Amino acid sequence: MIAPGLASGTQARSPRRADHADPLLPMELLELELSLDGYDGKSDFCETVRVASAKAGGELLFDLPAEGLMDDCKRIAVLRIPSSEQKMRVVLAVLDHSGTEIRMEAPDPATAHLARFAEAFVKVLERF
């Protein structure tokens, strides 16, 4: 399910649905979202996201604990996936607190710093 959680603090974010009219969550996320839909919490989160993003033509950049970044989840994986504009887009795969569901999110104001860090991370790697 593509749905946001709570931002740091207590503000709720509005839902972001994957459709071609929403530039924040393009149709490219549909394949990735569907491949993560059956996650049961028994498999390794990072490896599951890595495999799913590769199948969608993307890549896992890094994952990190969500503590202090997002209140409603356990881990966050930062991915780059192809977008319809012939470039790569940064998105987040978020593991819920129970560790049994992964949802996709576009960076919003509360997580924009992760997207900026990911883009800087990619630029550094490209220089090597």
Q: What range does the domain containing 82 cover?
A: 28-127
pTM > 0.85: yes or no: no
42 domain-assigned: yes
Q: Is 68 inside a domain boundary?
A: yes
Q: What is the per-residue pLDDT for 28?
A: 65
87 belongs to a structural domain? yes
Task: Return the pLDDT at 51.
Answer: 93
The verdict on residue 20 lying in a domain is no
In a domain, 8, yes or no: no
72, with CB counted inside 10 A (0-12, 13-18, 19+), is middle
16, 26 in Cβ contact below 8 A?
no
Look up residue 19 and give its amino acid: D
* Residue 17 maps to a domain: no
Q: Which parts of 29-87 are beta strand (E)? A: 59-65, 73-82
Give pLDDT, residue 48: 95
Residue 102 lies in a domain: yes
What total of structural domains would you count in the chain? 1
Q: What is the pLDDT along the chain (128 residues), one digit of tens a residue?
A: 333 333 333 334 443 434 334 444 556 677 788 889 889 889 999 999 999 999 888 999 999 998 888 888 999 999 998 877 668 889 999 999 999 999 998 888 888 888 899 989 888 888 88
In a domain, residue 88? The reply is yes
